[in-house]
Amino acid sequence: MSLSVKVQKDIGSYEEKVIGKLSFRTLLCVAGGIASAIATAAICHFICGIEVADAAFPVMVASLPFWLLGFARPRHMKPEEFAPLWWAHEFGQTQIFYEPTFARDEDFCLMGGKPSHRARRRAKAKGVEHREPTRQTCEREV
């Protein structure tokens, strides 16, 4: 009988667990969720005069962001890693300008707007099937 220990293959994705299966970040989010739920219930009861049993919706709404930050993993990333990427995607530059390198070749287009024999042969070479000249690029050059 031998002693075995489970080791993760990718050490870069390992998070140190503080209590049970909760990392420090998750533990802080759980504590924040509980604290905001208690604070919201106290405000509803003492200031607004609402019974705590009837204040379930405000309590859930107040604690939900903390639970989401602690446990949600959009695209298998932490929310603080995902949020900047999402923001850049939604509100960043939406157009990508592409200028193929073969469009600058002198032998690419002739007067009729067709690629030359040399340009067609270079485009058919192995591994450059993504660089095949098109008629639209020729018309833009002429």
What percentage of the chain carries pLDDT values higher than 90? 33
Per-residue tokens: 120: 């067609």
- What pLDDT, on a 0 to 100 scale, did the predictor assign at position 31? 96
- Tell me the domain boundaries of the chain: 16-79, 103-141
- What pLDDT, on a 0 to 100 scale, did the predictor assign at position 110? 46
Residue 45 per-residue DSSP state: I
pTM given for the model: 0.54
With tokens 């900047």, the residue in question is 84
- What pLDDT, on a 0 to 100 scale, did the predictor assign at position 47? 95
pLDDT tens digits, residue range 10-61?
A: 666 667 788 888 888 899 999 999 999 999 999 999 999 999 999 999 999 9
pLDDT tens digits, residue range 1-10?
A: 678 877 767 6
Residue 43 per-residue DSSP state: I
pLDDT tens digits, residue range 81-92?
A: 999 999 998 998
pLDDT tens digits, residue range 61-110?
A: 999 999 999 998 888 888 889 999 999 989 988 777 776 655 555 544 54
The residues facing 131 across adjacent strands are none
Q: What is the mean pLDDT of residues 124-136?
A: 57
- CA angle 115/119/121 to nearest 5° reads 120
CB distance 67 to 59 below 8 Å? no
Dihedral, CA atoms, 48, 49, 54, 56, nearest 10 degrees? 40
